[in-house]
Chains A and B, each alone.
Chain A
């Protein structure tokens, strides 16, 4: 039962991710009004650390890494990190590489991540102004 549930969740997640990737590949967030806008940007006029990640994803799917990095370098780097986390936690990577988990998802990593996020947030707005 538990195993079936896991497979079910995995299937749903896979379908959703595939649909989202197709969506982001087909439509350009820059040109289409379909895509959600950042509430923080609308409210304050400053970009949040996530702004540009959809445009970056679109560029990445079209193998345009330079443009992706320009839109949002932080999120481009975060994508492999997120996959690493999912692999470690849910696909058995934790047992195989406990050291990797400790390094990338330990308490220090969480603190570093927080600092980097805030630094990126401040710097990207300073740069632009």
Chain B
């Protein structure tokens, strides 16, 4: 069995622990772990060897040694391992808002980005309900990405409009200034 380092809630590196000891440390699915041979830190749920830590919700078959399911039958531990992961943020409200708002500022094309966000956001819940937490998390991240892209482009667009209006006002102002000068000259 590999010995793992992990990064705790405060961002400190701790280790090393065997997978069994990691469970006692109370690591979560998204805790970053590292062991020899890995190129980079990964979430614990992405390590096959650590699946059994979350097996109550994951129910992945365990290959090879050590049947952990037997251990979970012991009283006192079941409560600890039966934590239900909360649903990742869906971004549904935000993505709907960034889809509607561009219409009001004559940026209807920008709404397409928001719609991509909505599609991803809708998948967060359906994956979560299906029990596929990793895919749900992935959708949540895509939704966040597209929503933010749409939001910043919309903000940029509004800023452009404001600049254009200011330039226009200055332009008109200078024109009427010239007109006034002409009046002065002719008079």
CB–CB A39/B126 < 8 A: no
CB–CB B92/A106 < 8 A: yes
Tally A residues with Cβ within 8 Å of B. Answer: 31
Q: How many residue pairs between the two chains, A and B, have CB atoms under 8 Å in the bound complex?
A: 73
Give the size category of B's interface with A. 20 to 34
CA distance A36 to B125 in the complex (A): 38
CB–CB A50/B106 < 8 A: yes
Known: A34-B168, A40-B109, A110-B118. A88 touches B93 (CB 8 A): yes
Interface residues of A in 13-39 (CB under 8 A from B): 33-39
CA distance A51 to B161 in the complex (A): 16
Query: A102 → chain B, closest Cβ, in Å?
Result: 10
Task: Mark A37-71 against chain B: 1 for CB-CB distance below 8 A, else 0.
Answer: 11110000000111101100100000000000000
Query: Which of B92, B100, B115, B169 sits near A107, CB closer than 8 Å?
Result: B92
Query: Which of B99, B103, B161, B169 sits near A48, CB closer than 8 Å?
Result: B103
| A39-B108, A49-B108, A78-B104 given; 6 more Cβ-contact pairs under 8 Å | A38-B106, A39-B107, A50-B107, A54-B106, A82-B97, A88-B93
| Residues of B participating in the A interface, judged by any CB pair closer than 8 Å | 92-97, 99-109, 115, 118, 121-122, 125-126, 161, 164-165, 168-169
| Residues of A participating in the B interface, judged by any CB pair closer than 8 Å | 33-40, 48-51, 53-54, 57, 75, 78, 81-82, 85-86, 88-89, 101, 105-107, 109-110, 113-114
